[in-house]
Structure 1
Amino acid sequence: MQENVSQYSRPSDLRITDLRVATLAGVPFRSSIIRIDTNQGISGYGEVRDNASKTYALLLKNRIIGENPCNIDKIFRKIKQFGHHARQAGGVCGIEMALMDLAGKAYGVPAYQLAGGRFRDRVLLYADTPTVADPSLMGKRLLERRQAGYQFLKMDVGINLLRTIPGALISLPGSLDGRDTMHPFTGIQVTSLGVSKLVEYVSTVRSVVGDDVPLAVDHFGHIALDSCIRVGRALEPFTLAWLEDMVPWQLTSQWRSLTDAIATPTCTGEDIYLLQGFRPLIEAGAVRVIHPDPATSGGILETKRIGDYAEEYGIPMALHMAATPIATLAAVHIAAATSNFLALEHHAADLPWWADLVTGLPSPLIVDGHITVPDAPGLGFSDVNEDLFREHLDPTDPAYFIETSGWDGELSNDRLWS
């Protein structure tokens, strides 16, 4: 009897029938979770990048309805023109994650298997930790992370620590308050006093947390290349894991100058879309570590391609991530399937309920600073936790996967040639 046959065994007949969204807040930031439904009763989940618009996914709905979700590359090529750098890639990437989840469920294999198999059974996390001005307290917070099992740490060190110190910064009127001016154009400089204060800060943190744990540093502020070099050189004695996003990723020649000038690894990439966006940095040897965010870089398969390409140039790949367990698990599958992987960011170490947003995972999910690569089909979790989802719905958009038929009539001639 047909009704007794597992629908999961007929992937060639699988078709996308719907796309719906639920937007959560404080998980750890605001994230839109997408659910793609099919004619066989199975659904796949993906995640639009933190603080991006759900519209980036909804506008693609009518372009994927009727497609077989197992044709991941075909659909990705169809929709990737609607992504861009930073959060504008969120819709394309979230859909790609959901397609990988669906295809894995249809074939009964984990997502990493669709990406070519795995190189590791466990994925190392690095714990990001919010900054506090007191370096002793910052060291204590990082030490608590280490005592909780995290074996790779990250903190912020930059001009925000120097704002109240007279003589630490030179700045143009209003430049310290601007957020939309690229680093070379702000006119902000770090003085010798400012550099020494940053050195004191990192030295105190290192004295608390220890010299034998990887410690990365981020959020230096919108300072120009010369100040980046001065700060970078001064921090060399602390053997930091990397200095992250010191200048905008678009400025390949400046990254190359910075990388050549200091003896600490340089790192960037969280806002770059697709392999073609990473090529200039990789081919120029402009950074020592590439750092894609799968919710921006193109999802699972494209991010693996980025890692594989960087490997040819001797560059390792870490993964940026500030997301729910859904996008985090997508990143875990990338990490499992990519040879030159270093570590995956975890931004929710202070949210004890975070892993419970989805069901069917080991408890605890994170052990000794690692996530075990799931062997269950797709991304590896059973379903979303409806009660917890409803509890954390964005109060400005408290809809739980409501119907989205208003997007069904979205039509356009999208062909890029005549």
Structure 2
Amino acid sequence: MTSATNSITEQNINTASRPSQLRITDVKITNLVGVPFRSTILRVETNQGIVGYGEVRDGASPAYALMLKSRIVGENPCNLDKIFRKIKQFGHHGRQGGGVCGIEMALMDLAGKAYGVPAYALVGGQFRDRIRCYADTPTELDPEAMGERLLERRQRGYTMLKMDVGINLLRDTPGTLIAPDGALDGSDHHKDLMHPFTGIQVTQKGVEQLAGFVEQVRSIVGYDIALAADHFGHIALDSCIRIGRALEPYTLAWIEDLIPWQFTDQWRQLTEAVAVPTCTGEDIYLAENFEPLLAAGAIRVVHPDPATSGGIAETKRLGDRAEQHGIAMALHLAASPVATMASVHLAAATHNFLALEHHAADVPFWNDLVTGLPNPIIADGHIQVPEKPGLGFDDVNTELFAEHLDPQAPLLWADTNEWDAEHSHDRLWS
């Protein structure tokens, strides 16, 4: 191509970015609270002035992301798979996956902006242009109050809801729980015990009370809307089975995280024992680590949190694995609009997607944390998939960010130079 032809071409296409020459130059952070919980927002900067945004999972340490800065500065963010392979060894299950995932979201934002395409186009394209959201709802001890709170969300247009149904509803009712001393009061000895080891049992009276709670909620919100249940408590398998069977008449969308995800065989036993869909996965890192649950048919719904499971591309790979096993994928999330929009692109590109969690239905400023999206972002229980490049919003609302800084780390786009020289011999083989 001659230089004259090239000049004419450049007049007719967007050359604001030259993807092959794009390089990461810096990573900065802002720690927010109340969005709905504590989150770290990442801003990854480049030599061409394009910035990408990501989010470290709620409650996770910003250090999980900052330690990666020296490993990505100088890289081309469009080399998504190369960088992910480089940094994924520094993630782990639970909140420890938050740094890798937040960086991955920001890379997707940058690459999409560099190429001028929405993030979903980078992982295979679009199956849907509207993303169904389900509204999680804080616990009410009174079933009528719980039902009314859920009904208000239904009236806003949500077609799926979630509530907590667990031993917290039984603590003040004698004869409903059996537990060792200290097991119910959060003492240091008991608070970190996994479910099979706590010794907590739910009695028949307790099981009936939980079923009665759900029945009353259903009578208010209706039987013609999807309703899921979570936070049953740290109870062992036998109690879980008895509760699951008692909840069968109420056609729940799923019962979530009754058992730690690590116990595949116990999940299989629970799933085979109850006629209610079972669901887990929010604390699992990387698609390969979901495989035991999927291969064993141990759950009916897989429920990764993209801010733990690996970000957009890795969680898309998980969705494809789950589909091969006949398992639907819903997305766990408790985040600002930054990780929410990353999840929207993931959901758009995932064939067996079911619903995306929204945990901020009562946060009045949530919609205003980013610019360039419809307001409200969620309308009639759905998010319209944006066609703008990257994650699809124009920018973050820095002024609003400044009003919601974490008082323990109150710096807006804090300088991270102290992490520039952090390094080690990272290779996992000799």
Which band: TM-score by shorter chain? over 0.9
Give ranges in structure 1 of 5+ residues lacking alignment: none
Distance in 2 (alpha carbons) for counterparts of 1:235 and 1:121? 34
Confirm whether residue 216 of structure 1 aligns to residue 224 of structure 2: no
Confirm whether residue 166 of structure 1 aligns to residue 174 of structure 2: yes
Number of the residue aligned with 1:263 = 275
- Residue among 79, 90, 98 paired with 1:71: 79
1:70-109 equivalences in 2 (<5 Å)? 70-109=78-117
Name the SS of the counterpart of 1:126 in structure 2.
Answer: strand
Confirm whether residue 136 of structure 1 aligns to residue 144 of structure 2: yes
Confirm whether residue 367 of structure 1 aligns to residue 375 of structure 2: no
1:136/1:205 contact within 8 Å kept: yes
1:8/1:105 contact within 8 Å kept: no
Number of the residue aligned with 2:306 = 294
1:8/1:107 contact within 8 Å kept: no
Distance in 2 (alpha carbons) for counterparts of 1:351 and 1:95? 25
Confirm whether residue 154 of structure 1 aligns to residue 162 of structure 2: yes
- Residue among 392, 417, 421 paired with 1:405: 417
Distance in 2 (alpha carbons) for counterparts of 1:197 and 1:139? 16
Number of the residue aligned with 1:241 = 253
Amino acid at match of 1:8: A
Give ranges in structure 2 of 5+ residues lacking alignment: none
Number of the residue aligned with 1:121 = 129
Confirm whether residue 391 of structure 1 aligns to residue 399 of structure 2: no
Instruction: Output the TM-score relative to the length of structure 2.
Output: 0.96
Amino acid at match of 1:101: D
1:329-368 equivalences in 2 (<5 Å)? 329-368=341-380
Number of the residue aligned with 1:47 = 55
2:56/2:99 contact within 8 Å kept: yes
Distance in 2 (alpha carbons) for counterparts of 1:237 and 1:265? 13
1:377-388 equivalences in 2 (<5 Å)? 377-388=389-400
Q: Deviations over 1:46-84 (max 9, x none)?
A: 000000000000000000010000000000000000000
Distance in 2 (alpha carbons) for counterparts of 1:123 and 1:7? 31
Distance in 1 (alpha carbons) for counterparts of 2:426 and 2:19? 28
Kindly report structure 1 stretches of 4+ aligned residues shifted beyond 4 Å.
1-7
Distance in 1 (alpha carbons) for counterparts of 2:16 and 2:316? 26
Q: CA deviation at 1:179?
A: 2.4
Q: Deviations over 1:188-233 (max 9, x none)?
A: 0000000010011000000000011000000000000000000000
Name the SS of the counterpart of 2:371 in structure 1.
Answer: coil
Instruction: Output the TM-score relative to the length of structure 1.
Output: 0.98
- Residue among 298, 309, 316 paired with 2:321: 309
Distance in 2 (alpha carbons) for counterparts of 1:201 and 1:8? 57
1:7/1:40 contact within 8 Å kept: no
Distance in 2 (alpha carbons) for counterparts of 1:193 and 1:363? 46
Q: Deviations over 1:269-327 (max 9, x none)?
A: 00000011100000111000000000000000000000000000100000000000000
Number of the residue aligned with 1:35 = 43
Number of the residue aligned with 1:225 = 237
Distance in 2 (alpha carbons) for counterparts of 1:364 and 1:395? 28
Number of the residue aligned with 2:34 = 26
Distance in 1 (alpha carbons) for counterparts of 2:403 and 2:146? 31
Distance in 1 (alpha carbons) for counterparts of 2:305 and 2:15? 34
Q: CA deviation at 1:353?
A: 1.5
Number of the residue aligned with 1:60 = 68
Q: Deviations over 1:145-183 (max 9, x none)?
A: 000111100000000000110000000111112321100
Number of the residue aligned with 1:201 = 213
Name the SS of the counterpart of 1:175 in structure 2.
Answer: coil
Q: Say how many residue pairs are matched.
A: 418
2:17/2:48 contact within 8 Å kept: no
